Amino acid sequence: MQIRNATSADLSAVETLLSASDLPLDGVKDNFASFVVAEVEGEVTGAIGLEQFGSVALLRSAVVSAEHRGGGVGRRLVEQLLKHAEEAGIEELYLLTTTAEKYFPRFGFTRTARSAVPDAVRASAEFRGACPETAVVMKRRVETGARAPS
């Protein structure tokens, strides 16, 4: 498995993965330059994106193909995205989830209120309606030199 920065040629495969997992496509194309993909034998098997708003960002579109779940693909994608966030000077990282609330705490994310999310992040397509109001909001501080807990 290879984890690498996404290229424009990967967009269709990522959109297919997102659709197959009932995840929103809103804003993906506009932010695709900040996506990372997992590739196995030339096939895109997972993806994750970062939507940056100054020193805060939204972790978005975390997806792994059904046949590759449970094998560490998601973990490696999240770890790579956290590294990119740190390198980009991100101080706080937010996410919305309807299915992975128990997955993200292992990376330092905790639940937070929608009202605590900065306005710039709340203006993203995901917060404006791509994700339902019932989605759990999570937050993680990104510290320089910090690494995600194992």
The per-residue pLDDT for 135 is 87
The per-residue pLDDT for 143 is 73
The per-residue pLDDT for 125 is 83
Top CATH class of 2-141 equals alpha beta
Exposure string over 83-105, b if 16+ CB within 10 A, otherwise e: ebbbeeebebbbbbbeeeeeebe
Sequence spans of domains, the chain: 2-141
- To the question of pTM greater than 0.85 for the whole model, the response is yes
Per-residue pLDDT of the chain (150 residues; tens, 9 = 90+): 999 999 999 999 999 999 999 888 998 999 999 999 999 999 999 999 999 999 999 999 999 999 999 999 999 999 999 999 999 999 999 999 988 899 999 999 999 999 999 999 988 888 887 777 788 999 999 876 544 444
